[in-house]
């Protein structure tokens, strides 16, 4: 539904879900992107290590920001009676 996707709440949840998925993928990769010989099951190089570090750090920063935004949204809707229309 187009109306549902345009609502602020659904956009915030969608953004947080995407951030969680990306962060989970980075954690799933675990030690694979680390240069060979540095850790158990390491098979990557310096560039892959930097890339996965950037992805993990981005997800670590984005998810709490989306969570805080949802908190502000709930505050506005429940306490202040804010409506999106």
> What local confidence, expressed as pLDDT, does residue 6 receive?
74
- Adjacent-strand bridge partners of 35: 44
Read off the pLDDT of residues 33-79 as tens digits, 9 standing for 90 and up. 999 999 998 999 999 999 999 999 999 999 999 999 999 999 999 99
Cα angle for residues 22, 36, 20 (degrees, 5° grid): 10
| 63 contacts 19 by C-beta, under 8 angstroms | yes
| 66 contacts 15 by C-beta, under 8 angstroms | yes
Residue 5 has pLDDT above 90, yes or no: no
| pTM of the entire predicted model | 0.81
């Amino acid at each position: 539904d187009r109306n549902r996707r345009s609502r602020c709440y659904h956009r915030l949840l969608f953004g947080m879900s995407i951030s969680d998925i990306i962060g989970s993928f980075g954690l799933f990769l675990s030690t694979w992107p680390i240069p060979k010989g540095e850790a158990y099951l390491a098979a990557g190089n310096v560039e892959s290590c930097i890339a996965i570090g950037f992805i993990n750090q981005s997800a670590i920063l984005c998810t709490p920001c989306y969570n805080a935004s949802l908190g502000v949204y709930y505050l506005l809707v429940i306490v202040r009676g804010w409506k999106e229309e």
